[in-house]
Chains A and B, each alone.
Chain A
Amino acid sequence: MKLNVNGLEKSYDQDILLSSLIHLLGLNSDKIIVQVDGVIIKKDLFTTFILKENSSIEILAIVGGGWNEWKANNWWWKLWF
């Protein structure tokens, strides 16, 4: 199945849980927030949430700063809204 994760195409052999995707990406689920197809997914649902073909997944994290960092790093923002 194909997924779009933070703007990158990812392919997997079979259906995949959100928690498994996070693990495969090497991320710590305690320190991220995930939106799937425009909906924020609560952390306690990560282990049961099955991703669908062509889902669009946005993974965010808390970072330092404000506007200067935003301009440098968040070119994607307008795509999300």
Chain B
Amino acid sequence: MNEKLIIGGESFDSRLLTGSGKYSNDSIIPEITTASGSQIITVALRRVDLNSHHKSLMDYIPKHMKLLPNTSGARNADEAVKIARIARASGCGNWVKIEVISDNKYLLPDGYETIKATEILANEGFIVLPYINGDLYTARSLVNAGASAVMPLGSPIGSNRGIKCDEMIRILIDQIKIPIIIDAGIGKPSDAALVMEMGADACLINTAIASSPNPILMAKAFKEAISAGRNAYLAGLGLQTNSAVASSPLTGFLHG
């Protein structure tokens, strides 16, 4: 049994992807990556503040980690493509997480524009991981467009509300044959364990770790939950029944 996560031809031992945002200080990131065991981390692009010379985020990201630049800020396919090209030119490699969002309240992804951006970037040799709603037709179109994985949301970005789309995720797991990485909304380790038990291939966690009072311990908790959920999926869950089924013999010696 191959227990590696394989995306774009590369294999990973960890099924936990981490984000790099929302930490009070980037210096905590090495400890987060160690505690989580994560091998893939998302990053973003930003204009340099010429009046404030902080250390670069890149100084804190361990060299072995795969960078996954996102296209946050893109409101249509053209903008997402531009950001992806800039990220590649900056030395981030050819992986990109496509986020096309024009809804400012719920930050829900635009499926149509996401498909367009994915097709362009996949044809340019990018390994494209699009952030999507849990919609089967969108996911199928992304597979045809050349996506290397799909990243359905559990609930709105940064909400920590958990898995509100579990039935849609179950359908994707059943029907889509590229890796399914559950993205936004996972709020606690049990949420991650739930989708991993269902057969999701990986989870991307940022806010739930970064907003914990003890992010390092929370990173470890997510690592363990994702591992537990994956093992449960591989083991196979027992059958559910509507009535009790005794675990111990009821026909004992007391009643002859």
Contacts and interface: CB of A to CB of B under 8 A. Distances in A.
Interface of A: 5-8, 25-28, 31-33, 35, 40, 42-43, 58-71, 73-74, 76-77, 81
B240 interface: no
Contacts of B72: 65-67, 69-70
A63 B46 contact: yes
B70 interface: yes
B228 interface: no
Interface stretch (B37-45, B185-193, B194-202): B37-45
Interface of B: 19-23, 26, 29, 42-50, 53, 56-58, 67, 69-70, 72-73, 78-79, 82, 85-87, 89-92, 99, 101, 104, 107, 157-158, 206
Of residues B22, B50, B85, B206, which shows the largest number of chain A Cβ atoms within 10 Å of its Cβ?
A: B50
Contact of A28 (B26, B29, B56): B56
A63 B48 CA distance: 9
A34 to B, nearest CB: 10
B48 A6 contact: yes
Dominant SS among interface residues on chain A: mixed
Given A31-B56, A40-B85, A59 B48 contact: yes
B22 A68 contact: yes
Given A64-B57, A65-B19, A40 B46 contact: no
Contact of B157 (A31, A64, A66): A66
B58 A64 contact: no
Given A64-B19, A64-B22, A77-B73, A6 B47 contact: yes
B20 A65 contact: yes
Contact of B70 (A31, A66, A71): A66
Contacts of B104: 71
Nearest to B61: A62
Contact of B53 (A7, A26, A70): A26
Given A74-B73, A81-B79, A66 B56 contact: no
A75 to B, nearest CB: 9
B48 A62 contact: no
A68 B21 contact: yes
Given A63-B57, A67-B158, 5 more contacts: A63-B45, A65-B19, A65-B44, A70-B73, A73-B46
